[in-house]
Structure formats: structure tokens, C-alpha cells
Structure 1
């Protein structure tokens, strides 16, 4: 089968490979975000550990895909859209993966077993943002369904605004509850920041996608 796939690839225009790679990245992000939601929903310590390890493996997979995009960018003379846009989209998608991984890693390392509603809400917003990216990115292949792309980008912007509000409330509650416990305050703030930054990066991805469709639609 592998030989057949290699044979088929000889007849695929070189610039088309970017679409497949970006779609693979988007699918991996949805998988990572799904596992993150599962991680924050369980109180079982061993299950959390397994989920954190799975997110780490998926993050490595995403790193490999991002590397392949950058290699293709360096080797291909023809690209489907501006080289800087391809580079920026790859980088921002990679940032989403990094912050999902960073969130799960902190939850695991800091042994924060009593996860609150703020964390669960932020994880869900990350998941929703990744789902919207996975809706928009395949549409870049032919740009026929511009409404799907624009609706996804608008939804991502709305999700990020919602995440900002939750983050602000989480930080306010944190200072109310742990004003005398600097260690707990620092740990929780780092987790909130990593989660909120993942939603910021989803919005950055949406902004790049909007830039691409304005140029080429």
C-alpha cells in the first residue's frame, strides 16, 4: 500500500501537499483538544496521567507535521498561497498545540486534582475553536464555500472573547481564594494563562485564514 501511495503522489501537484498537511494538523488539534476536555473532566489521577501522556504524543505528531510543511515550503517553488501566509498559519497552528500541551502538562506536574469550572470551560472553548479550524481549513482547497470559512472565523473570534471573560473571572476568584497562598496562586494562574493563550492562538489562526481568503477569493 505504501508503494502505491508513493506512486500516486508522483501525480499529485506539488502545491496540493500543503492542503493535506494543514488538514492533518487541524485534525490532530481536534484530537488533542478532545483529550484535554476528557482530562479536565475526570478526577481519576491515573486517567489524567494517561491523557496528559497522550496529548504529549499528539503534540510530537503535530511537530512532525509542522516540520513537513516547512520542508515543503523550502523545497517547492509553487505554493497555493503566499509563502509567508503558509509559514504563519503553520506557526500559529503549532502554537495552539503547544499551549494545549502546556496546559495539560502543568495540570499534571502541579498535581492540581481539584479542577474547577473555569478550567473546564476554557478547555471546552479550546475544543470548540479547534473544531472550527478543522471546518475552515479544508475549505481552503478550492475556496468554494466562503461562508463556511467566514462563519468559522467569526465563531473563533467570539470564542476567544468568551475565553477572555472566563480568564478574568478565574483570576479574580483566584486572588479571592488564595491571596495568602502564593504557591497555589502561581500554579493556577499559569494553568489559566496556558489555556487562555490556546484560544488566543486559535484566533491568530483564524486571522491568517481570513487574510488568505481576502487575497485569493
Structure 2
């Protein structure tokens, strides 16, 4: 019997509530990112606004899931992996949702009608990152496919590096070529929220890599 099998044998069934909660949180951010990509690629402002409102509702749903994870963490003495890792992973996924919502809210509140190419590219990268995040989290429940988790984490890190480059280049171009100071501020705020969403995906990947090392 492998060490992971022994580990799973001693995890009480009640403690396994964490895994479906994490999967729900991950599925929720995938849905949010999917709606975001649909919104930024829509030229219909009314449709875009409705999609942004969907993102807002989904973020509240994510808050409820995160709160439930914290409640379970407080109720359960025995956990499937380190308590600090459970808290860190839940917080990172919640931060992904917060920044997806933040970017959508800024687009809506700032009345940015013409979305830049870097915004579209960063939105696509956010979706790529959360898809890999969801894949990795789905494998956490039994740790049988460690390679799949590690590969997803590597891809998330790669996406985050791409997002960094796009963000830096986009901000540099704003400062160099854009004469409207308000537009510079608005666009930079939106780009920052999108890039930070990929940062939070990387934070979640780092937590999962830590879990793999501890349970190897």
C-alpha cells in the first residue's frame, strides 16, 4: 500500500468535505473567467453589462464557498492536508475571483467601451490559468496523479509570466503614447486587476506544489 493510500485511509470521511468545496470554488472561477472572455469580446454594450453583472453574482457565490471552507477548517481537528495550506489555497482561489470581478467592475464603472488588445489577451490568459487551476484541484482529492497536478502548476506559472510581459508592455505603451491621463489611469487599473488574477493563480499553484512535496 502506498503512502498516499495510507494517508487517504486515515482521513475521516467528514474531512473530505474540503475536496468538493475546493472543486466548487475552482469551477466557479472558471465560469467567471469564461463569462469575462465572452464579455470583453462582445461589441454590444448592453450584453457586456449583463455579463459583468453575472460575474458579480458569481463572485458572491465564491465568497460563500470560501466562507464554508473556513467554517469547516474551524470545525475539524483533522484535515486532509496542512491547515495553513487549506487556508492559503482557499484564499488564493478567492483572490482570483476578486480580481476577475474587480476587472469587470472597473470596465463597467469607468465606462470603458473600447477594450484594448492587451485586455483581451490578459482575459484569455486568466481563463487559461483558471482552467489549469481547476484541473489541478480536481486531482488533489487522492493525489494519485501527481504528474498532472505538477504539469498544471507549470502551465499556470508560464501563463503568469506571459501575463507579466503583456501587462508591462501595455502599461509602457500607455505612458509612451496615450495623452489622455484619465484613460491611462482607467486602463492601467483594469490591466492590473487582470494581471493580478494570474498572480493569484500562481499563488494557488505554489500552495499545491507545497502540498505535493509534503505528501510525496
Pairwise same-fold verdict (TM > 0.5): yes
Cα distance in 2 between the residues matched to 1:59 and 1:17: 21
State the partner residue of 2:149.
149
Offset from partner CA, 1:126-149 (integer Å, 9 cap, x none): 000000011000111111111100
State the partner residue of 1:176.
176
1:63–1:94 Cα contact (<8 Å) kept: yes
- When normalised by structure 2's length, the TM-score is 0.93
Matched, 1:208 2:172: no
Cα distance in 2 between the residues matched to 1:55 and 1:177: 32
Matches within 5 A, 1:107-118: 107-118=107-118
Deviation at 1:177, TM superposition (A): 2.7
Structure 2 residues without counterparts, runs of 5 or longer:
1-11
State the partner residue of 2:24.
24
- Number of equivalent positions: 205
1:14–1:78 Cα contact (<8 Å) kept: no
State the partner residue of 1:65.
65
Cα distance in 2 between the residues matched to 1:74 and 1:88: 14
RMSD across aligned C-alpha pairs, in angstroms? 0.9
Structure 1 residues without counterparts, runs of 5 or longer:
1-11
Cα distance in 2 between the residues matched to 1:87 and 1:150: 20
Over 2 Å off, 4+ runs: none
Matched, 1:50 2:50: yes
